Amino acid sequence: MLVITALIVVRLENLFTVAMVTGIYSLLSAVFFTLLDAVDVAFTEAAVGAGISTVLMLGTLSLVGHQQKKRKTVQWFPLTIVTITGLLLMYGTLDIPPFGEGGNPIHGHATTVHYLEESSHETGMPNVVTSVLASYRGYDTMGETTVIFTAMVGVLLLMSGRKRKPSKDVEGDPSGR
């Protein structure tokens, strides 16, 4: 369903519909992460991907309009950059161990047992999830929060720089033209 939704997004021309379908894509991703038992990632994807990102896209569309401008020629430079980046990312996944195998590095340590048994003593937090996100993965959580904050500040700066249409009552022109 993710692939079908992505193909639909690529084919659409109405930007409002694109914003809505990308929200659906994020919700499908959240379901996928939940099925993989990554509930914290699923929650973040639902809140950020489907929630705030969709709201920010709709806010942007209210400023720039809903229809995509037609281009007569293919933009080769951006297409080349995206293709090279995609190929590099796929090449980078060749070192990832197969999904779900018992010999994967994550299964070589007793991290889960350690977190469950020792997190309240090591971090002073009674909730295991809070101790993992706030202490063990504190820098990761701080980085995610920084990215979201930076995006919000950027959108607010873009929206504050919006030029307003001149009103009909222009000083010095009694006719209002």
**pLDDT tens, residue by residue, 152-170:** 888 788 777 766 565 555 5
Ramachandran sector of residue 176 (left: φ over 0; alpha: ψ -120 to 50; beta: rest) = left
The neighbour count for residue 147, using CB atoms within 10 Å, is 11
By C-alpha distance, which of 68, 44, 55, 63 is closest to 19? 55
Token output for 77: 């430079």
For 10-50, how does the pLDDT look when each residue is reduced to its tens digit (9 = 90+)? 888 888 998 999 999 999 999 998 888 777 788 888 888 88
Core vs surface per residue 39-74: b (16+ CB within 10 A) or e = eeebebbbebbbeebbebbeeebeeeeeeeeeeeee
66 has a pLDDT exceeding 60: yes
CATH value of 1-68 in 1.25.40.10, 3.40.50.150, 3.40.50.880, 1.20.120.1200: 1.20.120.1200
User: What pLDDT is recorded for position 175?
Assistant: 52
Distance CA 33, CA 153 (A): 28
Distance CA 31, CA 25 (A): 10
Domain ranges of the chain: 1-68, 109-160
